[in-house]
Amino acid sequence: MSDEVVMSLLTRALQSGDEYLAAAVHPAVLPTQRQSLEKLLFATSRGKRQLAAAPYAPASLLEALASDDDPKVRIRVARNPSTPARALGRLAGGDASTALLSAIAAHKNAEPAILAVMQGMESPDIRAALCGNPKTPLKTLRALLPAATLAERKILAGNPNADAAMLRDLWDSGDIYVRAEVAAHPAAGPGLMDEAKRSLDPLVRRMLAANPAVTQDTLVALLSDPEAAVRAAAVRHLAPDDHAPERLASDPSSTVRRAEARHFTLPASAAARLAGDRDHWVRRWLARNPGTPDFVLRRLASDPESEVRRGVGRNRSCAVDLLRELAQDPVPWVRAGVALREDAPVDILHRLGEQSDIDVISAVGRNARTPPSILERIVRHENADVRRAVILNKRAPRSALEAVLEDPYPLNRALLARHPSLSFADLETMLRDPEPQVRFTAADALVKRPRPN
């Protein structure tokens, strides 16, 4: 950003009284200049409360609002996912209510040191938040365990900071649902995983099969589990050498066959069998699998289900000649899938860009490979969603975007303000937009973009 741009925005915000411009420029100015902006932004209780909850509120403003006298403002700051750690520390150090502390205890940006001092609090909401926060240190989690309810133990068992010793305590003192969470935890260790494998409850065995640290030997053993959900979970994590494709491709459960159709090392014989599966979801997953052999994809390209054919068109392994066939499919949704591919030949994009179906031309408009001449035509479409497709195309040149600088739909203008192809002059023009969110987005983009030489 340039000092000239910042000072221009600061002056414009103060002279016009525009709160949205003031919010956008607040992080970029000096502390003394922020005070002037805060007089404008914090003039009313209603305005402060709205700003404290706004998802677009910059961290600098949330820090300032963390010291506000209004408890409704502070609680909204604590619940705002963008609130930085320093502001949360300030909130926790003041006269904090249980609701405020609960929000801090659950916040993803809360520092471990802040969370550690809350461990002795009696509030169920605070305890539950601490149990589930991945920032809560292990020492604090252990301190919460002795008095934890079953519901809290289940949350503790899913915390990534839990270690093997703590998970053992949870397994020994928990119900089926706690044990299921323990079985899924990467830190469970061989002993607990072996007990989970022998569990009589299918939920525990299914969660074990989904554990990223489970051994391949265990997964192979779970392939013979009587419960289809367990077998399907095991299939998803099987390594190539431990695969049993012929048996799995003929499994009586469609859930297992669907998982098999997604496996990244599916042999040709199993793929051929699954291509004729009666369950269309099996064929859909197979059509999207980049490991599916070419001869199977060609068979699926003629499938009676349009979603299967679309899957083939979206598959990165689909051959160009097959793409050309699918680009002429009678169902527009299939053709739209082809139009989204950035490796689609330009002549296909030209042909699809001339069609009338909204899904098809929107897909062409989103495609980064679409030539500017086509984008310039699509962006003038009467449908706002079609025009937005071009706006969301990060490779769209300014020549294609000029037509939507004054788009009648405010959301399109707000999204347009983020586009890298707009000039500084374009963004400065958008500062006068009647829609507040457009003005904020344009100002924010000006602040964050380097000024060209």
pLDDT for 141-175, tens place per residue? 999 999 999 999 999 999 999 999 999 999 999 99
Each residue's pLDDT tens digit, 361-400: 999 999 999 999 999 999 999 999 999 999 999 999 999 9
Closest by CA position to 25, among listed 52, 67, 64, 58: 58
pLDDT of residue 245: 62
Question: What is the rounded average pLDDT of the residues 287-299?
Answer: 97
pLDDT greater than 70 at residue 196: yes
pLDDT of residue 267: 86
pLDDT of residue 4: 87
Categorize the per-residue pLDDT at 446 as very low, low, confident or very high, splitting at 50, 70 and 90. very high
Name 231's Cβ contacts closer than 8 Å, sequence gap at least 6: 222, 223, 224, 225, 248, 251, 253, 255, 256
DSSP label of 293? -
- Convert the pLDDT of each residue in 230-241 to its tens digit: 999 999 888 766
What are the residue ranges of helices labelled H in 107-222?
A: 112-116, 124-132, 138-144, 150-157, 164-173, 176-184, 189-197, 202-209, 216-222
pLDDT above 70: percentage of residues in the chain: 97
Give the 3-state secondary structure of residue 66: coil
Average pLDDT over residues 204-218: 96
Contact predicate 370/345, CB 8 Å: no
Do 266 and 241 touch, CB atoms closer than 8 A?
A: no
pLDDT band for position 258 (50/70/90)? very high
pLDDT at 68 over 70: yes
Q: Please, what is the average pLDDT of the chain? A: 94
Query: For 309-353, what is each residue's pLDDT tens digit?
Result: 999 999 999 999 999 999 999 999 999 999 999 999 999 999 999
Q: Which residue has the tokens 């003929």?
A: 250
Residues 6+ apart with CB under 8 A from 122: none
Q: How far apart are CA 390 and CA 408, in angstroms?
A: 15
Q: How much is the pTM?
A: 0.88
Q: Is the predicted pLDDT of residue 242 greater than 90, yes or no?
A: no
pLDDT value at 452 more than 70:
no
- State the pLDDT at residue 94: 76
Residue 1 has pLDDT above 80, yes or no: no
Give the confidence band of 41 by pLDDT, cuts at 50, 70, 90: very high
Is residue 121 over pLDDT 90? Answer: no
What is the predicted pLDDT for the residue at 266?
86
Q: Which helix (H) or strand (E) holds 248?
A: helix 245-249
pLDDT band at 15 (very low <50, low <70, confident <90, very high): very high
Beta carbons of 202 and 229 less than 8 angstroms apart: yes
